[in-house]
Structure formats: C-alpha cells, structure tokens
Amino acid sequence: MNNKKVSTLPIFLAFLCMGFGDVVGPMVSLAKETFELTNFLATLLPFSGFLMFGILSIPMGIYQDRKGKKKVLLIGLVIAFIGLLIPILSGMYGPIIDTGTVDLQSKFYVILASILLLGAGATVLQVSGNPIMRDVSAPGMFSSNLSLGQSIKAIGSSLGFLLPPFAVMAGMDWTLLFPIYAVLILITTGWISKLKVEEVKHEDETPASLASCLSLLKNKYVLMMVFSIFVYVGAEVSMSSGIPILLKEEFGIEGFSLWLSWALFFLPILIGRFLGAAILTKIKPIKFLFVTVILSILGVLLLILGNTLIAYIGIILVGLGFANIFPLVFSITVDKLPERANELSGLMVTAIVGGAFIPPIMGFVADSSSVLLGFLVPLVCLIYILFSTIVASKK
C-alpha cells in the first residue's frame, strides 16, 4: 500500500507536465500581439495542438499495449521536451523580442512547430498517464487519484495564464514559459525513468490493434462515453475561449479579461478538482458525475441570463462543475472494461479532438445571433453528458 502511495508522486508530476499542452489557450492572444498575426494564423496554434490528439492517440494506445505504459509516458515527455527546446535554441527563452531586428514570421513558425510537438507530447502523456494511474493507485483510489491528477494538470495549464504577466513585470517576455516548462519536464523524466511500475495485465487480454480499438465503438456504452469526452472537451474549450470575449463585449471588461477569466473559470476548476479527489473517497463516481453535470448546466443557464453578477456566479459554477467531468467519465468507462484499458485510453484521448470542432460551432452561433446565445452550444453538450450519465448509472 505504501509503495503505491510513493509511486503516485512522479505520475502526478507527469500530470503537471501534461497541462503544459494547454498553453495554446493564452498563447493565442500573446502570439497574435507579439508576431503581428492575422486571426487565421493565430488559430493555427490551438488547431495544431488539438490535431495531435486526433492523429496520435489510437496508434499510441496500440503501441502502449505492446510496449508498456511507462515507456510511452517517457516518450511523451521526451517529445514535449524537444518541442520546448526548439524555441529556446532559436533565442526565445525570456528576453523581450526585438521586433525591429527579428524576422517575426520565421519566429512564428518556430512557435508553431513547438506547439505541434508540445501537443504531440501532451497527447502521448494523456494516453499513458490516465491508465497508468490505475496501476500505481491503491485499490478503490483510481477515480480519486485521477481527479487529483487532473487538478495538478490544471496547475500546469494555469501557468500559461499566470507567468507571462510576471515575466513582463521582471522585464522579460512571455517566452520565459519555454525554459521553465523544459526544466520541469526534465525533472519528471528523470524521476519516472527510475520508477518501478507493476502494470496490471488480465488473463483474457488480447493484443491491441487498430481494428480492436475501433471495434470497441460497436459497444454502444463505449461509443456513448467516448462521445461524452468529445463534447465535454469541446464545451470546455468553448467556455475558456468564449468567456474573455463575453467579459469584453457584454460586460465591458478590458485590459485584464484574461486574468479575470482565469479567476472566474480556471481557478474554480483547480479548486473543484482538489475537492473532487476528496469527495470521491466518500461517494461513488457515477453519483458525483451526475452532481457535477447538473452544476455545470445550472451555471451555463445563469450565464445566459445576462445579468453581470449572476453571470459571474454562473461562470464559477461551470468551472466547479467542469472540474471533474473528464476524469470521472474516463475512470467510469475504464472500470467497466479494465481489460481494454489501453484501447479505451487511445479512443478517449482521441476524443479530445472535440476541442477543435465544437468551438467553431459556438462561434458561428455567436456571429449569427449574440455572444450570449453562443453559450447554448456548450449547454447542449452538457445536456448530452447528463443523458449519458443517466444511462451509465442504469448499467
């Protein structure tokens, strides 16, 4: 039991590194200003990151089934580290970029390549990190530890919002993120390389293949839960990108909308994940999933009402509700078919590509009507997840 507790520590650190892939959110506005980009070029950053989830997840899940989760986890860390080295070796590691002497376009492509590899590394870390948590967790602690791991991942994600302003105050540039991330990944890689993991194998487990992964989608339960991940990630990215626009266009908040968005949405997610890890030691995951989805739906409804104070409360409730949906859906599905954990992990991490497809739908609705009505799109996503939760509870 004690060995299990010790073994989770470096895995939690891997979850912190996993959050570095979310830097594409705040980086859009930072890169757009620094490199004088058009809106189209700026959107290539998150698209390139999310694209990796759609391309790599299933192949890495198959490779992981044959070579082991620890090896794949280390591969993900190395890929992300290489992605961070590219801008550092190109001179982007904290000093303010001189726009008068530096070829901004070439620098942007360096950042684009970095995000591509960072997204690839985050993809591989998601594929291996979520199921390996089951191997290092004490009996009955998988859902709780996975929720805690996602909360630590949120800390890694938050660094992209919090560090750039401090870098500016210190006379540096937001590219200071790259060496900081690189050092943390290097430490994590060294620790995990020495970690002994007893990976759980089932007697009736068959080698994974592309056909076996896709065949799981014939299982209506699996298909329903995988699609829940797809719409959840799409809803979360829609909220995180839509809230700063809402604060600016509807409520007149300018200048520090990014910080306020973090305080209202990402901070509750961070707090909610830590609380969720404790709550899941007391109640069943499926019951907690039902509560979190209801809380999220209530929050979006309050947001759409339009009153500033009520909207702020709604955003906070959505953040608290969103905090544990991903780890709950993931762990509930894997616990249903533990012998197919690697294939399920590949499928469910592939579904993260929903973050590339749902937000444009929200943007289309907002352009056709209003920013507020655009939030009907994540609301519909949450209603579907509620339906899935009800079905899953009966099974």
Helices 308-322, 220-249: inter-axial angle, 10-degree rounding: 150
Q: How far apart are the C-alpha atoms of 138 and 366, rounded to whole Å? A: 46
Contacts of 40 (CB under 8 A, 6+ apart): none
Total domains in the chain come to 2
Q: Are the C-beta atoms of residues 289 and 326 closer than 8 Å to each other?
A: no
- Give the per-residue SS3 of 130-196: HHHHHHHCCCCCHHHHHHHHHHHHHHHHHHHHHHHHHHHHCCCCHHHHHHHHHHHHHHHHHHHHCCC
Residue 208 belongs to a domain? no
Looking at residue 254, its amino acid is: E
Residue 203 belongs to a domain? no
* The pair of three-digit structure tokens given for residue 237, joined into one six-digit string: 């990215």
Kindly report, residue by residue over 135-194, the tens digit of the pLDDT: 888 888 888 888 788 889 888 888 877 787 777 777 788 788 899 999 999 999 999 999
Alpha-carbon separation of residue 205 from 65, 67, 142, 339, 343 (angstroms): 10, 14, 20, 6, 11
CA angle at residue 181 from 238 to 341, to 5 degrees? 65
Looking at residue 5, its amino acid is: K
**In a shared domain, residues 75 and 167:** yes
Looking at residue 217, its amino acid is: L
Q: H helices of the chain, where?
A: 2-18, 24-34, 39-67, 69-89, 104-136, 142-169, 177-193, 210-215, 220-249, 257-261, 267-279, 285-305, 308-322, 325-336, 341-350, 354-368, 371-374, 376-394
**In a shared domain, residues 185 and 305:** no
Q: How far apart are the C-alpha atoms of 145 and 162, rounded to whole Å? A: 25
Residue 186 belongs to a domain? yes
What is residue 1's predicted lDDT score, i.e. its pLDDT?
43
Eight-class DSSP state of 217: G
Contacts of 37 (CB under 8 A, 6+ apart): 31, 108
**In a shared domain, residues 178 and 30:** yes
**In a shared domain, residues 4 and 100:** yes
What is residue 111's predicted lDDT score, i.e. its pLDDT?
86
What is residue 203's predicted lDDT score, i.e. its pLDDT?
57
**In a shared domain, residues 193 and 221:** no
Q: How far apart are the C-alpha atoms of 100 and 282, rounded to whole Å? A: 59
What is residue 281's predicted lDDT score, i.e. its pLDDT?
85
Parent domain of 178: 1-198
What is residue 303's predicted lDDT score, i.e. its pLDDT?
93
Q: Are the C-beta atoms of residues 175 and 94 closer than 8 Å to each other?
A: yes
Kindly report, residue by residue over 348-376, the tens digit of the pLDDT: 889 988 888 888 888 888 888 888 999 99
What is residue 300's predicted lDDT score, i.e. its pLDDT?
97
Residue 18 belongs to a domain? yes
**Residue that terminates a domain, selected from 168, 198, 228:** 198
Residue 207 belongs to a domain? no
**In a shared domain, residues 248 and 182:** no
**Residue that terminates a domain, selected from 166, 198, 230:** 198
**Residue that terminates a domain, selected from 172, 198, 224:** 198
Residue 209 belongs to a domain? no
What is residue 101's predicted lDDT score, i.e. its pLDDT?
43
**In a shared domain, residues 317 and 184:** no
Q: How far apart are the C-alpha atoms of 379 and 30, rounded to whole Å? A: 29
**In a shared domain, residues 295 and 375:** yes
Consecutive 10-residue averages of pLDDT for the chain (395 residues): 64 93 70 69 73 88 88 96 93 65 72 89 90 85 84 84 75 85 96 86 66 89 96 90 80 69 86 86 93 97 88 95 92 87 84 86 86 93 97 88
Residue 36 belongs to a domain? yes
Question: Taking the CA of residue 316 as centre, how many other CA atoms within 13 Å lie in the half-sphere pointing to its CB?
Answer: 10
What is residue 379's predicted lDDT score, i.e. its pLDDT?
97
| CATH label of the domain that carries residue 229 | 1.20.1250.20
**In a shared domain, residues 67 and 95:** yes
Alpha-carbon separation of residue 353 from 46, 139, 157 (angstroms): 11, 31, 17
pTM across the whole model: 0.77
Residue 206 belongs to a domain? no
Looking at residue 204, its amino acid is: D
Q: Nearest Cα to 117, choosing from 15, 28, 213, 23?
A: 23
**In a shared domain, residues 136 and 242:** no
What is residue 170's predicted lDDT score, i.e. its pLDDT?
77
What is residue 86's predicted lDDT score, i.e. its pLDDT?
93
**In a shared domain, residues 116 and 7:** yes
**In a shared domain, residues 74 and 162:** yes
Q: Are the C-beta atoms of residues 45 and 111 closer than 8 Å to each other?
A: yes
Q: How far apart are the C-alpha atoms of 149 and 130, rounded to whole Å? A: 9
